Structures are given as C-alpha cells and as structure tokens.
Structure 1
Amino acid sequence: MILSLLGGLFPREASAHAALISTEPAPNSRMEQGPEQIRLTFNEALEESVFYIHVLDQSGNKITSEEASMTQDRTAIVLKLPKLGEGLYVVSYHVISGDGHPVGGSYPITVGDPPASGEAAAAEAPHEHGIGSSGVDGLLQFIARGFWYAAMLSLTGWLFWRRSASIQRLPEAVSSRWTRMLQLFYLITLLFVVATHLESLLGGGGLSQLGNLLTRTGIGISWLVSLALSLLGFMLLTRRAWLDYTWAAALLLTKSLSGHAVTFSPEWASVLSDAVHLAAAALWVGGLFAAAVIYTKKRDEFTGFLAAFSRAALASIVVLTVSGIILVLLFLPDLTYIFDTQWGILLLIKLGLVLVVAGTGALLRYYMKKNNEQAVRSWYKVDFSAMLLILLAVGFLTYLSPAPPNQPLNWHEMGKTAHMTAVVTPNAPGTNSFAVTVWLPENTGAPKHVQMNVQYQPAAGNEEALAPIQIPLELQSGSKNEMKIAGFTAYSYAVQGPFLPLPGQCVLEVRIMDSNDDETVFKKEMKLY
C-alpha cells in the first residue's frame, strides 16, 4: 500500500538534476539556413565523459559522425554541424549531471520549408525522455535505492552496535552470521542499483560507453569503490573494532562523494554535512536492527539494550536534525522553494516521520522508566516501522532534484476577439527569448500595438515593488505559423534580451490593441527560481 501511495505521488517522471536552460538554435525553431552548431547549456556542471548530441535527418540517420565537445566550465556541450539542406531535423542529447543522474531529451528544428510529408516522417524519430524513467522502470529505480540505503545504513550501524555489551552476550556464531547476512544484503542491493540505473546512465551510447561511465564519472567510480569495499569487507570485518569503524566510515564517505552534496557549494561543507547525516542515520537504523536481533535471540537483554540505544538515538536525532537543516540551506537558495518541488514535499513527509520517531522515542523512554516491557515492545515496533518508511522516502529523495528547475513557458490563451500564444525560453533570470503570436479576425486587420510587460511582485515583508518592465516585441516579417485558426490572421513578434533579470514571483502580461482601439489583455502568474 505504501509503495502504491508513493508511486502515485511521483507518477510519471522524476525531476532532472541538471536542467537545460539554453539551446542554440531554440527547439521547434524554423530557419532559412541551417545552423553552424548545436549548443546546449545547463544550469550546473556535468560529468565530462558520457555525453552526446545526435542530429537526425528525416530518414532517422545521423547527419554527422563528429562528436560533441564540452565547454571548459562543463556547463555546455557543443556539436559542430555540416551544411544542412532543407528539411526537418531532430536534435537528441544525453548528459549525466554532477550528482550522477542522467538527463536527456529530443526536439525538432526546421531548415527552409520542407513538405508536410517529410515533417510527418521526422516527427516519428526516436524521442528520449529525461531522467528517468516512468512506470515500472522508474519505480524499480526508486525501490532499488531505498533497499540500498537500508542495507548500507543497517550494515554500518550494526558494525558499531555489534561491540555493545548486549550484542556481545549473543553467541559469536549468531553475531557473525548476521554480519555476513547484512554484507550479502548490501552487495545484492548495490548490484540491484547498478542494474536498474545502468541503461539510463549510458543513454544512446550503449555498452561502448561503459568504460567511461565506470572510470571517468563520479557515479561510476563510486560504484566501483563501493563494490571493492563490499568484497574486501568479507575478508576484513569482525576482526578488529577499529577496522570495522574505518570500513564503515569509508563506505558512508564514498556515498557522500557521489550524490547531491558534490554539486552544491561550498562542496566541503555539503559533503561533510552529508557524511555526518549518514553516520547519524546509521547509528539509529543499526541500533533498531540490533534490537530486533536481540529480541529474537536473547529477549531478556531487549529492554536493557533499548535503554542504551535510547540515549544514542536521541543524540542521533539531534545530529540528523542539525545536519539536515544545514543541507537544506546549502541545497536551496530560498527556503520557500521547499514547497515547489517533489523533493521538498517528500522532505516534509520525511520530517513528519522523524517527528513520529521523536515522539515514539519519548514514549519508549517513559515506559522503560515504568518497567512496562509490553508497552516498550509495542512502541519499538512503531519505531521500527517508521524507520522503514523513512528509508523508503530516502530512496525517492536521493533521485529527485532539490532545486526547482525553470521550465520554458508555453502559454496559450483563447479570447473572444483575439487569441495569443507566448513562448519564453529558457524562462530563467537573465537573457531570454520571447516569441508572441496573436490571432485577430480577418476583417479587423493588423493589430495597432502588441505589448508584453512583466510585473515583479514585492517580496514578503516588503511593500515596495518594481515598476513593470516593458519587453519590446518586434514584428517578424515573413514569419510563418503552423497553427491555423479559421477566420483569423496570425501576427508574430519576437525579441531576445535580459528582460527577466531577477528571481521571484511575477505576472507576465500581453496587451493586444486592434485597429478599432479595442484592447485585449492576457495575464499569467509565474515564478522564476
């Protein structure tokens, strides 16, 4: 039931971690002559080994064997093009973001005025969606990561608690057997993660890119290091306490060096906070698991162990809270963004579960002081169940982007006497391309005036607002619009410039005045991150 509910919360696609913020030429653009290159710019640094841009003609064939290159700052990829003839082309791309998530997509561009039949053929060219995967594949990726985190935290936490007095009273054979079982569980879940993520990370490059993925990307290297540590663990663990702790720390640090933390500045602070966060989580998860082992194998030690675990769990919850707050502040430039993404919503759900854990811990301590063993056992089960839910939520959280990406605006309005379509790309603070098409009745003639304005809303607690920014649209002579509306004539306007200079909440306005001086006004609220 829980899997179904979470699957419904994230039904189609996960949010991409590196967002495409600029394309040259723009998607769906029509040009008289072909471009000299394709340039795709992203909002963060990319992995520099596994990436490509493919341009397909109307027959689905690549128009060049040249490979794309990456800019020095690793935020853009560029593909030089040969001279393109008239026709419809499909641009397909694939990159891996700095935190190890695949991002890809496809879009058409048109050169000249190809026949309609050619457009239909090219429209059937392959299209690659972004990260992730929808349906069963996507759910399998989330489940794999949830099990992987459960295995990693259970194993590393168990290695700490294994040295406690209560665990040492267990027969050595029992303690060693559970250690080996957790090691096997971790190895299997690691391979499960690799198996469910490998295809999407390789993209269209296929197995020919496997070597680059495993040896020249952060996520691939982390997989290899984790696999090596896992195999070494079968030879090294349970021999010395310091060796167990060192091994566990190395495993947690490897994870911290391959996720969200490495893509946010300052990197040292985010990686350190993430490692501390994982260590505190391991202390809590491992303790709950150790309590379950004691409950099944040496029940008379159960309450005594919970007394020691309760003190450590309180400290771990405090550390988890502090490190979690630090990570959120590092990941989000504005705390209000937490309500604008699936990552933020799921984080709030996780916070609610943590509050349940805190309340459960308080009740456990209360009933332990009252020597009510039956109540202690019942509330321990609640605590253990909350842990499973949190680990499941973590499986989703680690594959969602904390910061909300700005999506290109495609806005269409049907009015009584005028219709309008506006496209803003990339729809982010800075320089943007604005394209507006208006449709007026044929007997009305051309519009006297078409104006676009943006009005920024004042920030909370600030009564002062910027005056509206005028976006100076220019009439595009000879432009064609594929959308036909019976009885109406289309007029196209465009401009490029820094007319959306700031992040924040704003209202985009398009004002259309026809030849009779009648004005139609369309408004749309939007938020720039």
Structure 2
Amino acid sequence: MILKLISRSKQLVPHSPVRILSLYAVLALLLFSAVLLVGLMPADAHAARILEPKQISGAFPTLAASFNPHEQVGHDQMENMDHGHDSGLSVSTALFYTARIVYYTALLMAAGMMLWFSGIRSGSDEQRKRMQQWSLPMMRALLLASLLYVFANARSLMEGYGGGGPEWLRLFTETNTGQAWLALLILSLLGFAVIKASDTFKLIWALLLLAIESWSGHVAALQSNMNLGIVLDFIHLACAAVWSGGLMILLGLWFVDRKEAGRFAERFTTAAWISMALLIITGAAITLLLLPSLSYLFYTSWGIWLIVKIALVALVIVTGALLRARVRRGELPDGLMLKVDAGLMLVITLIVGVFTYMSPLPDNTPVRFHKMGETRHFTVNITPNEPGTNQFEVKIWLPEQLGEPSEVKLVLHSRDRQQLAPLEVPLAIFEDKSYESFPGFVRTSYHAEQMDIPFPGKWTAELQVVDKSGEKVEESIDFENY
C-alpha cells in the first residue's frame, strides 16, 4: 500500500520514492524483530499447549478458555463432545464452508479496495472513478457475506444447546467471539457510509475490519504470545488485502481501460511484491507460534491445506514476477497471466476459508492398551492423553495361586527428550467395580488421577510388574500426544 501525505494546501501528494522505501524498511525491521523473538523463544513457548497447565494458569490471566463462548456462558461441553464435528460432507457442512469462503473473499476484496484509495497516484481520476463505482457492490457483497458467515458460525456453535433466543443474545453480548461478530456486522453497515468519506476514513475502516478478524483467529486462542500472534495475523491480513484487492482492481481496469490498467500496474506490482514478502514472513512466524514442531504439518488436515497454500503462493510469485517484468519493460499486463493470478488468489482464499476452521494441532486420543498372555494379562489406560493432567489406570491379572502382585510401577519416558529423567506415575490400588474377569486369574486395579504429562510429544509408558514369586515382567507402550 502506498500511503499519501496531505500537504498544507490540502491536496493529496504521493510520497517520494525515498520516503516510501524508508517506510517499508521500518516495517520490515519491525517484522524482523518480531520473527527473531519467535525464533529465540524456547521450543516450549512456541505453542500454547506445550506449557504445563498449572504454569499457564498462574502466568497468563487470559487463557484460551476466555475465547471459548461455551465457557463464557456456562455451557456444559461434556454433554456435547461431538459438537462441531460432522461425519462426512453433508449439505449443511458444505453450505457452512461456502459461507466462510465467500466471507473471506468479500472481506479481503472490500478491505483491499478501501486501502487502495490511499495507494493510487494523485491525479488518477479515472482509476478513482472506477474504484468508486465498484465500491458499492463490494460493500453489498461484504454485508451479505458477513450476515451469512455470522449466522452459519453462530448456528454451528449453538447447535446442541438449548435456551433459544436468550442464549443467542448471551452469545453476542457476553462472549468475545459474539462481540467480534457484532462489531463485524456494524462495520459492514458503516461501509456504505465510508465509501463516500475521505481516503483517511476508508483506510481506518479497512484496518478496523482486519483487526476484528485477526482478533478472532487461531492466534487469539494462544495461551502465550497471544498479542504477538494477533499483531502478526493483522499484518498478514493487511498484506493479503493489499495484494488481493489490488489484483482485482487491476483485472477490472484491464477489462475496461487498458491504459489505466498499465498505469495502475506500475504501482501495484511493487506493492504486491512487498506484500508477498511480508505474507511469507508473517505466515511462517504464525505457524511457529501455533505448532510445537513443523513436523505437525504432516499430522493434520490443517497442515496439509497449509502446504497446498504454500505451493500456490509459489505459483503466485512466478506469475507476479512475469507480470512485473512486463510492466518494467513498459508493456501492458498480460491478460492471461492476470486471470491466472486472480484464479490462484481465489483458490488460496478458498483454502483459507476451510483451514481457518480447523485445529492446527492433531486430535489427541486416549491410550487403550490391553495384552493377554498365558500367565498374565495387562491393561493400561491414559485419559485424555494430552499435555496436562491425565488419569492413569492399570489393571493386572495374575494366576489365582499368585494373587496380587507385590509391586507395580508405571514410568513415563520422553522419546523426544531422552535426557529428561523418567516420570513415575503414583499408582494406588482402588476398588474396581467393572465386570471384567478371566477364569483362574485375580485382577488388581490401580489408578492415578493427578499425574501431569508436562509437554506434548512421543512417550513410552514402561509397566513393571513383580509377582509374589519374585518374577519381574516389563511391558513398554508407545504413545503420542499433541
């Protein structure tokens, strides 16, 4: 985006090239500092769930739960554990994701259009006239898309919870998510007034719109470095709006006035390259904040979609380089390359609409291990198998003549951090009222309810059983959590 200064005569004049370069240099330096901070953080600080829950609750007053609408209005989520996870692609699911895709497209187009009013050259009356004509349909699209987006997400969020109208009112008035949606709708309505206002108000409106979206994204649920994540996400969205909005303006001008398209391309190609560089930097930094390790990209649909997005961005860079080369030679932008670039942009927006609703981290599943032998049976259960407090349950079946074991130990070993001392689970015998039984065997059950797994990763649970004859048996169970 090319900013303008207002001269004393109240006429808009463009920055000199030196000032523009200085502006981008300062912005790049700030981003480099933020990324450097991310890189210098210990591995345990990269993702919210890598910290021990007790440490988190004491160190950070604003937790991920504060962004959970159900937590804020007192919903019991344990009764609705399948909420939000449809099996297969139903019609409602397809419509839900369609609403998200349309919303993100309209959001970037509208914000980008308003940002570019401050980026076009002074005296570009034809460009300004065309952009003004396109602004009204863009605002209508944003309002409609925002209504569909909010309704679809609120309906998905409230599905399975009773209460009717009052509960919906509480969602929009008592939760951060609902308040962000309400602010989005208000700004969408104000957009119709903004298109008639000055470029400064257009700029402020666009930045507020993007700030609301960055506040309600994945990074807003970080339990550490949340503020850094929101700033990075805001810059990421602003750069995406500059690129996508500018590209649509360029394509529109190409269809109605090739000469104006050529003039606009001179300004756009430079801004697009700077925006793309900042998109890559901020995107990488956000990924490092969300994931404990880049290997997690291969564990989830979120990661696979992100890899596809990165590949598409690489293609955008290629087409952008070809367009920039033509413009620097004084030639008009090539229509085919413009259409390819616009097509790639729409596909990337489609991916964003899908994977922003997915969890960056894989789902954890409880450990359920059972092994039957000729003289011994073992069961080990770890629930819910995630960083933080877990319940451990161990069941041992020994022949009746041996009775209860004389000693049982369960020790956890980190396969990722082998230098870490083993963690012994404090097992205690409890009265097991389940009906599992094997003829000729005696069952002894142990549990531990307050044992913490300190961080995610690859683990080995080593079960050691000594019977009354002195014979010792060891069993190793490998498991992972995220």
User: TM-score, normalising length from structure 1?
Assistant: 0.69
Contact 1:408 1:423 survives alignment (8 Å): no
Specify whether residues 485 and 309 from structure 1 end up closer, same or farther in structure 2 by C-alpha distance, changes over 3 A only: farther
Aligned to 1:359: 318
The one-letter amino acid of 1:46's match is S
Aligned to 1:29: none
Q: Is the partner of 1:169 in helix, strand or coil? A: helix
Specify whether residues 48 and 308 from structure 1 end up closer, same or farther in structure 2 by C-alpha distance, changes over 3 A only: closer
Specify whether residues 207 and 496 from structure 1 end up closer, same or farther in structure 2 by C-alpha distance, changes over 3 A only: same
Specify whether residues 415 and 520 from structure 1 end up closer, same or farther in structure 2 by C-alpha distance, changes over 3 A only: farther
Aligned to 2:163: 205
Contact 2:67 2:221 survives alignment (8 Å): no
Aligned to 2:9: none
Specify whether residues 259 and 231 from structure 1 end up closer, same or farther in structure 2 by C-alpha distance, changes over 3 A only: same
The answer to whether the aligner puts 1:46 opposite 2:46 as a matched pair is: no
Q: What do the CA deviations read for 1:448-496 (whole angstroms, capped 9, x no partner)?
A: 554322122254xxxx6235333343333x4222445577654322124
Q: Is the partner of 1:481 in helix, strand or coil? A: coil
Q: What is the Cα deviation at residue 520 of structure 1?
A: 5.5
| Match of residue 214, structure 1, among 147, 168, 172 | 172
The one-letter amino acid of 2:348's match is I
The answer to whether the aligner puts 1:469 opposite 2:442 as a matched pair is: no
Contact 1:162 1:168 survives alignment (8 Å): no
CA–CA separation in structure 1 for the residues paired with 2:81 and 2:262: 55
Q: In terms of mean alpha carbon deviation, does 204-213 or 274-283 score higher? A: 204-213
Q: What is the Cα deviation at residue 210 of structure 1?
A: 1.5
CA–CA separation in structure 1 for the residues paired with 2:197 and 2:455: 58
The answer to whether the aligner puts 1:298 opposite 2:286 as a matched pair is: no
| Match of residue 289, structure 2, among 318, 330, 333 | 330
Higher strand share: 1
Aligned to 1:147: 102
Q: What do the CA deviations read for 1:292-348 (whole angstroms, capped 9, x no partner)?
A: 211222234434433332111001011212222332333345555444443333323
Contact 2:408 2:465 survives alignment (8 Å): yes
CA–CA separation in structure 2 for the residues paired with 1:49 and 1:500: 27
Specify whether residues 345 and 440 from structure 1 end up closer, same or farther in structure 2 by C-alpha distance, changes over 3 A only: farther
The answer to whether the aligner puts 1:415 opposite 2:372 as a matched pair is: yes
The answer to whether the aligner puts 1:495 opposite 2:448 as a matched pair is: yes
Contact 2:108 2:244 survives alignment (8 Å): yes
Q: What do the CA deviations read for 1:148-184 (whole angstroms, capped 9, x no partner)?
A: 1110110111223356359742593x54442111111
Question: What is the correspondence of 1:253-402 to structure 2 with a 5 Å cutoff?
Answer: 253-264=211-222, 265-369=224-328, 376-402=334-360
Aligned to 1:195: 151
Contact 2:402 2:467 survives alignment (8 Å): yes
The answer to whether the aligner puts 1:223 opposite 2:181 as a matched pair is: yes
| Match of residue 382, structure 2, among 424, 438, 450 | 424
Q: In terms of mean alpha carbon deviation, does 177-186 or 282-291 score higher? A: 177-186
CA–CA separation in structure 2 for the residues paired with 1:310 and 1:171: 18
Corresponding residue pairs, total: 418
Q: In terms of mean alpha carbon deviation, does 487-496 or 289-298 score higher? A: 487-496
CA–CA separation in structure 2 for the residues paired with 1:308 and 1:404: 42
Consecutive unaligned residues in structure 1, runs of 5 or more? 1-16, 23-41, 53-66, 69-92, 95-103, 107-126
Identical pairs, percent: 31
Specify whether residues 364 and 185 from structure 1 end up closer, same or farther in structure 2 by C-alpha distance, changes over 3 A only: same
CA–CA separation in structure 2 for the residues paired with 1:140 and 1:517: 64
Specify whether residues 281 and 377 from structure 1 end up closer, same or farther in structure 2 by C-alpha distance, changes over 3 A only: same
| Match of residue 510, structure 1, among 458, 463, 470 | 463
Consecutive unaligned residues in structure 2, runs of 5 or more? 1-47, 54-61
Cα RMSD for the two superposed structures: 3.5
Contact 1:105 1:130 survives alignment (8 Å): no
CA–CA separation in structure 2 for the residues paired with 1:279 and 1:211: 31
Contact 2:49 2:387 survives alignment (8 Å): no
Q: What is the Cα deviation at residue 360 of structure 1?
A: 2.0
The one-letter amino acid of 1:480's match is K
Specify whether residues 393 and 441 from structure 1 end up closer, same or farther in structure 2 by C-alpha distance, changes over 3 A only: farther
Q: In terms of mean alpha carbon deviation, does 353-362 or 502-511 score higher? A: 502-511
Contact 1:473 1:493 survives alignment (8 Å): yes
Q: In terms of mean alpha carbon deviation, does 518-527 or 501-510 score higher? A: 518-527
CA–CA separation in structure 1 for the residues paired with 2:349 and 2:148: 16
CA–CA separation in structure 2 for the residues paired with 1:46 and 1:133: 25
CA–CA separation in structure 1 for the residues paired with 2:125 and 2:411: 72
CA–CA separation in structure 1 for the residues paired with 2:191 and 2:277: 30
Contact 2:316 2:341 survives alignment (8 Å): yes
Contact 2:460 2:478 survives alignment (8 Å): yes
CA–CA separation in structure 2 for the residues paired with 1:332 and 1:156: 29
The one-letter amino acid of 1:390's match is I
Contact 2:136 2:195 survives alignment (8 Å): no
Contact 1:509 1:523 survives alignment (8 Å): yes
Specify whether residues 291 and 446 from structure 1 end up closer, same or farther in structure 2 by C-alpha distance, changes over 3 A only: same
CA–CA separation in structure 1 for the residues paired with 2:420 and 2:181: 50
Contact 1:429 1:500 survives alignment (8 Å): yes
Aligned to 1:481: 434
Q: What do the CA deviations read for 1:373-421 (whole angstroms, capped 9, x no partner)?
A: 68x322222221221121112112322233556x352312333434433
| Match of residue 456, structure 1, among 396, 403, 414 | 414
Q: What do the CA deviations read for 1:272-308 (whole angstroms, capped 9, x no partner)?
A: 2222111111000101111221122223443443333
CA–CA separation in structure 2 for the residues paired with 1:391 and 1:351: 12
Specify whether residues 410 and 206 from structure 1 end up closer, same or farther in structure 2 by C-alpha distance, changes over 3 A only: farther
Aligned to 1:524: 477
Q: Is the partner of 2:420 in helix, strand or coil? A: coil
Specify whether residues 352 and 171 from structure 1 end up closer, same or farther in structure 2 by C-alpha distance, changes over 3 A only: closer
CA–CA separation in structure 2 for the residues paired with 1:523 and 1:242: 65
CA–CA separation in structure 2 for the residues paired with 1:49 and 1:258: 12
Specify whether residues 441 and 354 from structure 1 end up closer, same or farther in structure 2 by C-alpha distance, changes over 3 A only: farther
CA–CA separation in structure 2 for the residues paired with 1:287 and 1:388: 13
CA–CA separation in structure 2 for the residues paired with 1:488 and 1:177: 83
Aligned to 2:83: 130
Q: Is the partner of 2:419 in helix, strand or coil? A: coil
The one-letter amino acid of 2:307's match is L
CA–CA separation in structure 1 for the residues paired with 2:319 and 2:68: 46
CA–CA separation in structure 2 for the residues paired with 1:261 and 1:501: 22
The answer to whether the aligner puts 1:160 opposite 2:115 as a matched pair is: yes
Specify whether residues 298 and 419 from structure 1 end up closer, same or farther in structure 2 by C-alpha distance, changes over 3 A only: farther
